Structure 1
Amino acid sequence: MGVYASLWLQPDSESAAALSSYLHPHPLTLSLAETVLCLIISGLVQSLVLHPHSSVMLQELSHMDRITQLQDEIQQLLTIMSSSIAYLTSRANFVQVSQEIPITKSRNPEKYDPPDRFEGHTKNKQELVRDLIVKAKQVEYLIQSLPEPDPEEKQVERLQALEEEMAQANAEYIQAVNRAKSLHAQICDVLRNMLDEPDIVKDEAG
C-alpha cells in the first residue's frame, strides 16, 4: 500500500476539476474559499478540508509559534508511527519470507488478527496509513510555511548586533548592581549612625 499522489489543489484549478471527475460517483465539491488536501492511496481516497482562513492565521503566527507547532506535530507523528509498529508487530502472525528460513514460532489464533481483517477488511491498515500520511502532510505544510533563512552575511551582521546589545545590557546591569550596593551601604551607614547616637533621635522626636 503506497501513496500514488499527494496534491495541494486550489478549488478553482483544472486539477481540482479533474480530481472531482475522477472521484465519480462521489465527486468532490470544492468551495472557492477552501484549500483542499487530497491524498490518493491504494484502495483509499482521503480528503482533508482546511479552514478557509488557515493560511491567513498561519501567516500571523510568529516564527517561534510555528517551530513549537512543528515540534508538536512531529511528536504526534512519532507517536502514530510507534503505535502503528506496535500494532503490526503484536497483531500480525509469523510468515515465512524465505524457503531457507523456516518458521520456528507460532501464535495462538486469538493473539493475532485474521488475514481478512489485517489486510484491510476492516480498513485497519488503511487507517494506519491514512493517519501517517495526513500527519506527515501537516508536518510538510508547516515546514514549507517557515521563512527562508537569511543570507550568511545578514546572519553575521545580526549576530554582531545582538552581541553588542548583550554587551550594553550587561554593562547597564553591572552599573545598576553597583548603584544598588552603594545605596545599600549608605542606608546601612545611616541606620548605624542613628543606633549609635540615640540622643539625636530623641531630640528630633521631641
Structure 2
Amino acid sequence: MADRLTQLQDAADQLAQQFVASLYYVHKHHDYALLSPTDRLVTKNGGNTAQADDDIDPKPADVFKAGQRELAQDLILKEQEIEYLISQLPGLENSEKDQEQLIKQLEEELKAAEVERKEAVKEKEAVLAKLESVIRSVKRP
C-alpha cells in the first residue's frame, strides 16, 4: 500500500510541477494585445513599444496555441493517472464493516502464525540442546 501511496504522491508532485511549467510557458511566450484603443504598452525605460518586457518571448499564434494544447493534454493525462492510482487504493470498494471483518481475520491469522513461530522456536531449542549433547559426547580417538 505504501508503494501506491508513494506513486500517488509522486504523481501529485508532478502535476503541480506541470501546472507551474504551464503558467511559465503562458507568461513567457504570450503575445501582447491591446484591449482598447486607449491602451498602450510601456517599456521599462518609459517608451511606447510592442516589446514591454525583456523576459517575454512572444511566439507566433499557431505555435503558442499548439504549445498550450500540448501542455493541456499533459495535464489531463497526469490527472487521469492520479484518478487511476486513487481507484487502486484499498478500501474504496469495501464498506467499514467489511474492513473490520478483514482486520479481525488478519488478526486471527497473525495469532496462528505466532503460535507456529513459538512452536518452531521450542523445536529449534530442543534440536540445539540435542546437538550440543551429541557434540559433548563425541570423544577424540
- Shorter-chain TM band: 0.5 to 0.7
Structure 1 residues 77, 120: CA separation in 2 closer, same or farther (over 3 Å shift)? Answer: farther
Within 2, Cα distance between the matches of 1:118 and 1:181?
81
Match of 1:154 among 91, 95, 98: 98
- Residue 133 of structure 1: aligned partner: 76
Task: Give the structure with the higher percent helix.
Answer: 2
The structure with the greater share of residues assigned to strand is 1
The Cα RMSD (Å) is: 3.9
SS of the residue 1:150 aligns to: coil
| Matches of 1:124 and 1:92, distance apart in 2 | 10
Separation in structure 2 between the aligned mates of residue 162 and residue 118 of structure 1, nearest angstrom: 62
Within a 5 Å distance, the mapping from 1:79-94 to structure 2 comes to 79-87=17-25, 91=28
Report 1:166-205 matches (<5 A): 166-194=110-138, 197-198=139-140, 202=141
Structure 2 unaligned runs (5+)? 31-43, 46-51
CA contact (8 A) 1:74 1:139 kept: yes
Alignment TM-score, normalising by the size of structure 2: 0.59
Amino acid at match of 1:124: G
1:142-173 CA deviation, whole Å, 9 max, x = no partner? 54577843222222111111101001101111
Q: What displacement does 1:135 show?
A: 2.4
Q: 1:144 to 1:192 in 2, by over 3 A?
A: closer
SS of 2:106's equivalent?
helix
- Number of aligned pairs? 119
The verdict on how the C-alpha distance between 1:119 and 1:144 changes in structure 2, with shifts beyond 3 A counting, is farther
Sequence identity percentage = 29
Native 8 Å contact 1:118 1:124 kept in 2: no
SS at match of 2:83: helix
Q: Which 5+ residue runs of structure 1 have no aligned equivalent?
A: 1-63, 94-104
Displacement after TM superposition at 1:70 (Å): 6.3
Distance 1:188 1:119, change over 3 A: farther
Q: Given that residues 70 and 142 in structure 1 are in contact (C-alpha distance below 8 angstroms), is that contact kept between their aligned partners in structure 2?
A: yes
